[in-house]
Amino acid sequence: MSKQTLPSFPRYQRLAGSLGDRVRLARLRRRMSATEMAERMGVARMTLYSLEHGDLSVGLGVLVRALGVLGLDDDLAHLAADDELGRRLADATVRPTRRAKRSADR
């Protein structure tokens, strides 16, 4: 029985394709073949091909390994680092707490 895959939103497919293009260009700038890159990552060449072509079924671990081989793993720290919407939503639901009244004998 084959694994069912959910349809992806076109926007996500475009973003994944763009990310795959950037990974491929980074590999080519380093003059690294797909076979060599896949070997360094510890994956099959077809898995690297899938990543570079924006296949959303490729796991996050494969992307992390690819960035590590390319020396771009520090870029992971920047993903979702600035959650402006989440911060605004949290601030909107936080109610200020009332401070206890001071006693008069102090």
**Could you state, in order of their start, the residue ranges of all structural domains in the chain?**
10-76
Note the CATH number of domain 10-76. 1.10.260.40
Q: What is the pLDDT of residues 21-76, one digit of tens each?
A: 999 999 999 999 999 999 999 999 999 999 999 999 999 999 999 999 999 999 98
Residue 83 to residue 79: CA distance in whole angstroms = 10
Any idea what the Cα angle at residue 64 is, between residues 58 and 70, rounded to 5°?
A: 115
State pTM to two decimals.
Answer: 0.75
What's residue 101's pLDDT? 72
Q: What is the pLDDT of residues 70-98, one digit of tens each?
A: 999 999 888 888 888 888 888 888 776 77
The yes-or-no verdict on residue 20 having pLDDT over 70 is yes
